[in-house]
Structure 1
Amino acid sequence: MRAVVASPDHIIITAGAREGFSLILQALGQGVRVGVESPGYPSLRRVPEALGSTTVPLPTDNDGLITHDLPDLDAILVTPSHQYPHGGSLPAYRRTQLTTWANRTAGLIIEDDFDSELRHIGQPLPALFALAPQRTALLGTFSSVISPQVSCGYIVAPPHLVPRLIELRTIFGNTASGITQEALAQYLSTGALRRRTQNLRRTYRRRRDTVISTLGSIPGTTLSPIVGGLHAVLTCTRPEADILQRCRQRGIIVEGLSDYWSQHPDSGPSNGVVVGFGSHDDATLTEALHHIAWAVS
């Protein structure tokens, strides 16, 4: 998988990315300080807060996490293949800086493999885990390529964390259904997932093109490049609260971009919306996009 070579003994089955993240943090021990991308995925950011860990917001730009001056932390949660929500892919030099940080500080890189399979431009990027397998824990899930209802994911763990993760898995029990695991194992063995992923890429590339043609040239807005994933970021000059209210008037639910910051930024664009295009059929999406275009105009 994307240049990842791992022993089966180092793969821990989970109920998804959030549970995997929780297990890793618990394996690291009490009083963990973990860096999180800002802006970043809110549901994952809340996991360390719920466990009593300290979260440290780390700035990002269009290329993902800014890595040249990282503080000393126990771990950093990063989405190198497809930063959420802006969608950037971490360049090679930043990947090197991040692995250098991990080796220097003995910190752990927690790689969230979010939407990495669903690239619209070029081939899927190699996993960061392949560069630093001793200092990286890879979080994976089947929610995007199969369904969120599957509730099954995995950790590819570095060797030093495996015993503690297995101990925690034994204590809390296996939260991923055995029936689901068996069905997934058979599904993977047939090559059906690879074929499904290829079909999904074609479908979502078409929807991406619809998003760009509808929202890409509205005065007073900027549509971020959509190189992968199932959402688009539209920054706007119109106040965000006004946009959200206008969308609700048309029965459209979108998320405000400002919600994705761990702390409100002193500078940089936070005024806008995050538009998903993975859940509905093409006709429904097209209609919704026209309502959003009206709301941001």
Structure 2
Amino acid sequence: MMLTKRTLLAAVSALAMTITAGFADAQEKLGVVATTGMIADAAREVGGDLVEVRALMGPGVDPHAYRQTRTDIVAMANADVVLWHGLYLEAQMEEFMQGLEGEGNVVAVAESLPKNLLLGHDNYEDKYDPHVWMNPNLWSRVVLNVRDVLISVQPESEATFRANADAHLEELEALAQYTTRVLSSVPAEGRVLLTAHDAFNYFGSAYGFEVVGIQGISTESEAGLQRVSELVEMLVARDIKAVFVESSVSDRNIRALIEGAAAQGHEVVIGGELFSDAMGEDGTYEGTYLGMIDHNATVIAGALGGDVPAKGMNGLLY
């Protein structure tokens, strides 16, 4: 049964009396709730001082497995705009979010991307890989979608939203140029990115890397012993010396690979921790989209033999 906003408001009315919507101190600002940190960052960049943004999923949170809480429901019911990703990223929330879409300004900002730019999902024939933020040029299209949603809700601020979006798109273009430069410095034979799950396929497509994930696109899938054994053999046979952990996924399987390779006399190190489905800590450079991708590109290129500045594109990496 599809949920309506009226039903949700009734269900949480008692809770709403004790929990603020988070926008009380900014009554003249547009209240925006975003599911992921990446979308929240886009909304802050485009909205500027005219919006107050809350992200439901913070650093280290896996969006594939996340379920809405009662507090989340209150926040979304009181928001002026709700932005979610779509493309089956928020798999456990999808039915709930689709139920809200007909009841106000609730938009899946990645769902309308041109299908010819999307990669197929490895588990679902009729769905697409949702990790589009791994390619800054593709993410720019999501930023434009966020801009258009904000304009539709508050058209009197259109000029400001457009100016802010244009400025951020220039930053994303500079980011795309930087990532292309440092990643192209990795020797061709070393362009193999092995991580915990398949979050980096858009990255691989954009920069010419072979991407190998122990788990599938969704972290809900489990890696079996046969899969781990096959990857150990690949590490040894191809003399791959660095693998990567992810901030929002357990490192258990990665460490199993390292131990398996060591048992065969092949040393593999952790090349670094990457931000895959969530950004860095709030208030840090890595806690922004620019910092997230700057970090990933710099760490990957550096670990695999590329030429990178020590502190990244803007000299801000920790």
The TM-score, its normalising length taken from structure 1, stands at: 0.37
Larger C-alpha radius of gyration, 1 or 2?
2
* TM-score (norm: length of structure 2): 0.36
